[in-house]
Structure 1
Amino acid sequence: MFRHYFRIAIRSIARYKSYAAINIFGLALGLASCILILLIVRNELSYDQYHKQAARTYRVTSLGLDYNPSVSFAVAPALRNDFPELEHVSQYYYWRESMIEINHERFILKDVAAADNEFAKIFDLVWLAGDPNSALEAPNTIVLTESTAKQYFGDQNPIGQTIRMDNDWELKVTGLIKDLPGNTHLTFKSLVSWATFHDETSNFWSIQGGYLYVTLPEKLSAATVEQRLPAFIKKNWREAVEKEKATLLLQPLTDIHYDQRYLNQTSMPRSKKSIYGLAAVGLFILVIACINFVNMATAFALKRSKDVGIRKVIGAKPIQIIKSALSEIVIQVIIALGLAIGCLLLFIPYTEGFFGTRINANQLLHLDVLIGLFIISLFAILISGVYPALIQSRFNQLQILKASFSTAVKGTTILKRGLIGIQFLVTQLLIISTFIVAKQMDFFLNKDIGFDKESIITFDIGKNPEGLRQLLSNQPGVKDFSFASVAPAYNNNYMPFSAPNLGMQEVDVTEMKVVDENYFSMFGLKMLTGLPITKSIMPQDSILRIVVNKTLVNRLGIQNYNDALGQQITVGDRRAEIQGVVADFQSESKHKKIRACFLYYNPERFQQASVKLQSNHIKQTIASINREWSVLNPESLFNYEFIDNKLARLYEREQTLYNTFKVFTFIAIVISCVGLLGLVSLMAVQRVKEIGVRKVLGASVNNIVLLFLKDFVILIGISFVIAVPIAWYAMHSWLQEFAYQIKISPLHFMVGLLVTLFIAGTTVFIRSFIAATGNPIKAIKEE
């Protein structure tokens, strides 16, 4: 029996190739998108859960005036001493890159970290070589990931090889581990032993990006440990914290990827709202694809209704018609699923570049994914197959064979309109959301950052600042340059400040930048009042002459910027006098409010050169600077970065979200066009006689096209009214994650409406035009 239905289904698909191809293509695209989103969401919601001790592992963080994921290196030894019951205590320090030398050849090694021997006991690293119990115990040792070892040693065994790092350490490779999976907040590609260069500081406020992890024993709760931490701080650092806020917190390991209170870390957290929103997009796309399938399958069923009528006349029962129709649909769904998985296998290697999430083909074989695939396929079959099958079973064979098969099924108009309305609603939601995300990304990167970033590169000054200054002065491709501790887009120096004489008794945190006399003019910083930084020589014990930003003045409670001139504040342990006020500029991401900041002159602390290049010879100028810089610093590698790229890194998560919306909105639009084609085809099939009569009575092609368009314009308008409040609520909630954000305006919603009207109008026009230009006599005779 099933073989019989299978043969009928194959013959039917082969007979109506174009309908079947369009149907299968639309569903395959929807299934591929839904499965890909399933893998991405699954990956995002499983961060750090693969570690066996994940439920008992916490990161020790600090809360002063802000949430900070790092703590002073002084905390770990004190914690081991005062909490001996802790199962593991491990320190971890990350930096973006180091220069290494292997066999007299130099490279830039990315994503470097340092960790102690407890690290491998907390985190489940897959060891390919070396002893996990001792690989990070001795000083001057390093563990490499598999891809890093392959990059620098090829097929050679890396164990025992020597790597010279930053001209300071001779590191012996003692371990080799598999590359970290994509669902972990850790981002290192090599691990240097903590004993190589650990910091012995005892200062509680010395926070340099060191992360501290602890694993609790089975019967010890995090709440119990946190209750004891205030006394622990007071015992070890009473004088350092008695006048300032100081709190240590335990952050669950499995929460790190989603906790947006902690922004200044190696991998930016991702909001669970965004993840659930992406899951909703996947469901929406699958629903759109199924709606398309219903529309096309219904049109397909009506087109071959005479076949069904003949089968009913010769004795076929409704249940047999349903089984036959479902067999065709199951075959089409299976073909579509096969195509979807095939496309996914080709696209999976590029998912990290597009969506910022690393997945692999093996995940398709995991049990939960296979169950998900089964549920998705069953959902597609039930939603897409039951209605068209019931339509065929309800055909009136006498009406079909005697007259018009367009009258064979009645009462489906409301359902059809509802389905296409849902399709328009989802499409407009995606278009509006994508447009708002795009505008926010543009605001991140191009609006209101407070300084000029165009064609500016930054790099280390090196060991000969005066030689470098002379080099840059003689470069024809250099428009301007400045030496400083860091450029405006970087931030790595903070210190406490207060102003008791101005009534500010509470200690706050300020960012510090040491800059030269060219800094303000080259970066286009706007002076609000007073004097900019000038070249000067100042004794160490004298009062600092500083320029402060607008936020610091506001923090002092001063309303008029001129009144801030000459005022004295305490920064760290030194007195400073304000000589000027500069407009705020962005040195951190717009997730956070701009901090108070002060700038002063001290050439001994210059570390970074910033160079503004002539836009017409950028590559040649960089190559020339590289050659001459390398002569001045023969033991180092020239390594530069465009400030634009630095700023873009602050918003990698948002950029991947934007890319995701772009890709899946485009897919939704394509699927919607296929669905519209199916619905208009259905209308054309059902109204073929009406079109013929109208043309005979004198209706023009324009009249008939407008007849089709009218219903769709009304549906688009209704779906737009529903989409506006939903889109506003969703995107308003997302924008609340940023301290600085765009304002949602009516323009954002009108874009969604106009784009939908254009897409739908074009699709409907093409198909209805074909129907309207047909031979009316032929249509009437066929009916």
Structure 2
Amino acid sequence: MFRSYLLSTIRIMQRNLSYVLLNVFGLTISVASCLMIFLIVRNELGYDSFHHKASRTYRVTMHALDYNPSVSMAIAPALRNDFPELENVSQVWYRNNGMVKIGQQRFPADGFLFADGQFTGIFDYQWLQGNPRTALSEPNTIVLTESIARKYFGGKDPMGQLLNLDNRLDLKVTGLIKDVPGNTHLPFGFLVSFESIRKDLEKGSAMREFYAIMGGNTYIVLPEHYPVAKLESRLPGFITKNWGADIAKEATLPLQPLRDIHFDQRYLNNSVSPTTSRSTYWALAIVALFIIITACINFINLATAQATRRAKEVGVRKVLGANRPQLIRQFLGETAFLVVISLLLGIIIAYLFMPQAVNWLDIKLDHTQIFQPVILCLVLVLGLLIVLLAGLYPAFIQSAFKPVLSLKSSTGNNFRGLTLRKSLVFVQFAASQILIVGTLIVARQMDFFKNQDLGFNKEAVITFDLPDESKQQIIAQQLANDPGIKDLSFSSGAPSYNSSFAPFRAPAIGLTKDDVTEIKFIDEHYTDMFGLRMLAGNKIVKQHENDTTHQLVINETLMHKLGIQNPQDAIGKGFIASGEPVTITGVMQDFQSESKHKKRRPCILLYRADRFFSASVKLQPQHMRETIARIEKVWTGLFPDDLFDYEFIDDHIAQFYKQEQKVYTAFRLFSILAILIGCLGLYGLVAFSAVQRTREVGIRKVLGASIFNIVGLFAKEFMLLIAIAFLVAAPVAYYMMHAWLENFAYHIGINAAIFLAALAVSFIIAGSTIAYQSVKAAVANPLKNLRTE
């Protein structure tokens, strides 16, 4: 019986090769797309879930004037002392950059951690060499990741090797681990024992004072079945005991679940890795659902269109004794055969193209995960769902044909008017329009990120750190006559970098509770080089270190916080910053120092040469590479023991929106695939419709119908469906995209132009798909059609 069904299926498919190819191609692309989306969504939503203690691990954060993921280094020892029941307490200090020296070789170190001995008891990494319990317990020890070890030592065994970090620490390699997975909020290249820097930290206030925050993070693991609320209720008393009741009144220590860190946007601009919203990736999962539904709709529509051709076959089979269950099994078997072929091809295509997709999306994801048991089970379930969704209806319809009517060929005339096919095409168009609207809005928001006025000039500007701020003037003198340099400025950081914050208040106007302001220390060139716009008063000029009066320029946001509306009225006004009275000498227009996820902060600009840790250089657009090489030569001559590491401000700003760029790329890729699959189905429907209406087209042409009339005959039904689908898709798309835009403090507006553009794109796509087959039918010889029909 099975052999008979199989042979029959193969013969039928040979006779209907175009139908088979359309269905297999559409299903293959949909399966491959869904597999890739599933792996991407699983990876992104599974941040830090690979640690076996993840459900009991929390990051201890601080909330005073703002949410800060960092706490004082003094918190961890106090927690160990006051809460001995905690399973683990670990403190780490993340560094964005540094320099590693091995012999005469120097390497940039981008992203590494100082971690204590309990770190490896909380976070699970795959150890290749070394003992995770002791590798970081002693000072001057380091654990390398596999790729970093290969970079530093080539094929040599790294264990026991020595290296120098930042010309300060001589470290011995005591461990080797696999590269850190990409879906972690703590990406690092190597781990340095916290004991290596503990003594230096103890000399200052870092290990004692509550507000001595240097960028360190503290993690705890609760005992099993220990409610987190119980610990949270005891933390105010913990603060009072160790640092006093006054601090306990103004600050709290929120416990942030490890698996929420990547998605908690309250801490957005202080996190080591960019945060995002979970809903963003659920939206991508919805795209996968649209893709599968579209493919199933194609299958059903093409199968029902084919049913008219197979009406006589069904009639003959029934006359020869076939019953309805046998016919249903036959048709389901044909569907299953196509689905199995599509699944196999889809897996192969996903495997081959996954590395490219991962590269486009800038994520770490091993494409061999496609062959994990859970993924293969998903493929089987997906295949079964497709067989049931796409195969059942056509099977029941075709098996229900009555033999007499089928043999008289009357079934096709009745079947052609089925409303289900129109309903399915309607759903398909609605889904496509939602995707088109979503993609257009994401594209416009990304353009807003990149091109909207930030309040400062960022073009062709590089920035780099100064190991010794006392050599500023030497650098300025040596670069003064370089033809490739437009301007040079020293500061604590370019406009899009922020590192210093301070409390401020103004009791005279009733602002008695501290708020937070950013502080930037800038030189006299900063304002002009970055094109900052002064609204009132004077811009910062050079000051001698012995000057007792300080210039202080504030931004618009701080001015409004102080209750002043007119910039001119702000000049000469005073308030208290960092506990000291200050007087305003200038007001500048706001500029964007953080991403557009958050509203602009209050900001103070001061001249203070001893805080100029960074240089910014505006380059001439020609020969920038050669100019940077000359800057590096000057820099290296002054700091021979350090490594020149620069960054374009454009690239730094792009990092703010790294997650959104991933999503935009994914939406573009998979939305195009979903629309392509829909076009395949539409193309097939028009093709079969043209075949079924061959005689009608011939008669119309004989009676004088033009090519335009014939094309309109095929197009009008589908164009009407597009218009009706738009009425449903528009409000759904508006609701979904409005919710997504609410994640940003600054975003575009959703206007009618976007929806009209989506409707126009839908018409163009559908019209282009319909055009080929309808024109082909329109230009055919009517006499030949009438003779062969």
Coarse TM-score class (shorter-chain normalised): over 0.9
RMSD (Å), alpha carbons: 1.9
Give the alignment partner of residue 294 of structure 2, picking from 288, 305, 314: 288
Q: Which residue of 1 is the match for residue 476 of structure 2?
A: 469
Is 1:676 the counterpart of 2:655? The answer is no
| Stretch of structure 1 that moved more, 311-320 or 249-258 | 311-320
- Indicate conservation of the 8 Å contact 1:399/1:407, yes or no: no
Q: SS of the residue aligned with 1:224? A: helix
* Distance (Å, rounded) in 1 between the aligned partners of 2:13 and 2:627: 63
Cα deviation for residue 398 of structure 1 reads: 4.5
Q: Which residue of 1 is the match for residue 495 of structure 2?
A: 488
Q: Which residue of 1 is the match for residue 380 of structure 2?
A: 374
Q: Which residue of 2 is the match for residue 259 of structure 1?
A: 264
Q: Which residue of 1 is the match for residue 304 of structure 2?
A: 298
Superposition pairs of residues 11-26 of structure 1, within 5 angstroms: 11-26=11-26
- Indicate conservation of the 8 Å contact 1:59/1:213, yes or no: yes
* Distance (Å, rounded) in 2 between the aligned partners of 1:84 and 1:742: 51
* Distance (Å, rounded) in 1 between the aligned partners of 2:782 and 2:605: 81
Q: Which residue of 1 is the match for residue 462 of structure 2?
A: 457
* Distance (Å, rounded) in 2 between the aligned partners of 1:672 and 1:344: 20
Q: SS of the residue aligned with 1:625? A: helix
- Taking a change above 3 Å as real, the CA distance of residues 80 and 539 of structure 1, as seen in their structure-2 partners, is farther
Cα deviation for residue 245 of structure 1 reads: 2.2
Is 1:143 the counterpart of 2:125? The answer is no
Q: Which residue of 2 is the match for residue 523 of structure 1?
A: 530
Q: Which residue of 1 is the match for residue 224 of structure 2?
A: 218
Superposition pairs of residues 249-648 of structure 1, within 5 angstroms: 249-263=254-268, 264-403=270-409, 406-407=412-413, 409=415, 412=418, 414-463=419-468, 464-539=471-546, 542-648=548-654
- Indicate conservation of the 8 Å contact 1:302/1:685, yes or no: no
Gaps of 5+ in 1: none
Q: Which residue of 2 is the match for residue 705 of structure 1?
A: 711
Residues 671-712 of structure 1: per-residue CA shift (max 9 Å, x gap) = 111011012123223322221221222211110100111111
Q: Which amino acid aligns with 1:9?
A: T
* Distance (Å, rounded) in 2 between the aligned partners of 1:456 and 1:30: 44
* Distance (Å, rounded) in 2 between the aligned partners of 1:397 and 1:42: 50
* Distance (Å, rounded) in 1 between the aligned partners of 2:464 and 2:40: 36
* Distance (Å, rounded) in 1 between the aligned partners of 2:502 and 2:287: 44
Is 1:99 the counterpart of 2:99? The answer is yes
- Indicate conservation of the 8 Å contact 1:298/1:682, yes or no: no
Residues 86-130 of structure 1: per-residue CA shift (max 9 Å, x gap) = 121100121222111123111112221111000001111211111
* Distance (Å, rounded) in 2 between the aligned partners of 1:218 and 1:392: 59
* Distance (Å, rounded) in 2 between the aligned partners of 1:628 and 1:164: 24
Q: SS of the residue aligned with 1:487? A: coil
Q: SS of the residue aligned with 2:552? A: strand
Q: Which amino acid aligns with 1:516?
A: D
- Indicate conservation of the 8 Å contact 2:65/2:514, yes or no: no
Q: Which amino acid aligns with 1:644?
A: D
* Distance (Å, rounded) in 2 between the aligned partners of 1:298 and 1:767: 19
Cα deviation for residue 396 of structure 1 reads: 4.7
- Taking a change above 3 Å as real, the CA distance of residues 408 and 726 of structure 1, as seen in their structure-2 partners, is closer
* Percent of pairs with identical residues: 49
* Distance (Å, rounded) in 2 between the aligned partners of 1:84 and 1:735: 45
* Distance (Å, rounded) in 2 between the aligned partners of 1:434 and 1:207: 41
TM-score, normalised via structure 1 length: 0.96
* Distance (Å, rounded) in 1 between the aligned partners of 2:97 and 2:400: 70
- Indicate conservation of the 8 Å contact 2:312/2:409, yes or no: no
* Distance (Å, rounded) in 2 between the aligned partners of 1:729 and 1:239: 47
Q: SS of the residue aligned with 2:551? A: strand
* Distance (Å, rounded) in 2 between the aligned partners of 1:477 and 1:445: 25
* Distance (Å, rounded) in 1 between the aligned partners of 2:439 and 2:415: 39
* Distance (Å, rounded) in 2 between the aligned partners of 1:636 and 1:240: 43
Q: Which residue of 1 is the match for residue 6 of structure 2?
A: 6
Q: Which residue of 1 is the match for residue 80 of structure 2?
A: 80
Give the alignment partner of residue 253 of structure 2, picking from 248, 254, 261: 248
- Indicate conservation of the 8 Å contact 2:485/2:618, yes or no: yes
- Indicate conservation of the 8 Å contact 1:399/1:408, yes or no: no
* Distance (Å, rounded) in 2 between the aligned partners of 1:600 and 1:293: 68
- Indicate conservation of the 8 Å contact 1:59/1:251, yes or no: yes
Gaps of 5+ in 2: none
Q: Which residue of 2 is the match for residue 130 of structure 1?
A: 130
Q: Which amino acid aligns with 1:496?
A: P
Superposition pairs of residues 648-667 of structure 1, within 5 angstroms: 648-667=654-673
Q: SS of the residue aligned with 1:545? A: coil
* Distance (Å, rounded) in 2 between the aligned partners of 1:771 and 1:57: 67
Q: Which amino acid aligns with 1:754?
A: A
Cα deviation for residue 283 of structure 1 reads: 0.5
* Distance (Å, rounded) in 2 between the aligned partners of 1:207 and 1:567: 31
- Taking a change above 3 Å as real, the CA distance of residues 181 and 527 of structure 1, as seen in their structure-2 partners, is same
Q: Which amino acid aligns with 1:774?
A: A
Residues 508-550 of structure 1: per-residue CA shift (max 9 Å, x gap) = 111111101010000000101000000011438x343211111
Cα deviation for residue 312 of structure 1 reads: 4.0
Residues 168-223 of structure 1: per-residue CA shift (max 9 Å, x gap) = 11111111111222332221121111111243322212222211100112243211
Cα deviation for residue 379 of structure 1 reads: 1.2
- Taking a change above 3 Å as real, the CA distance of residues 297 and 712 of structure 1, as seen in their structure-2 partners, is same
- Indicate conservation of the 8 Å contact 2:445/2:748, yes or no: yes
- Indicate conservation of the 8 Å contact 1:356/1:653, yes or no: no
- Indicate conservation of the 8 Å contact 1:429/1:727, yes or no: yes
* Distance (Å, rounded) in 2 between the aligned partners of 1:777 and 1:299: 25
* Distance (Å, rounded) in 1 between the aligned partners of 2:315 and 2:785: 20
Q: Which amino acid aligns with 2:233?
A: Q
| Stretch of structure 1 that moved more, 481-490 or 271-280 | 271-280
- Indicate conservation of the 8 Å contact 2:351/2:368, yes or no: no
Cα deviation for residue 262 of structure 1 reads: 1.8
Is 1:185 the counterpart of 2:192? The answer is no
Cα deviation for residue 395 of structure 1 reads: 3.8
Cα deviation for residue 351 of structure 1 reads: 3.8
- Indicate conservation of the 8 Å contact 1:143/1:173, yes or no: yes
Q: SS of the residue aligned with 1:598? A: strand
User: How many positions carry a matched residue from both structures?
Assistant: 780
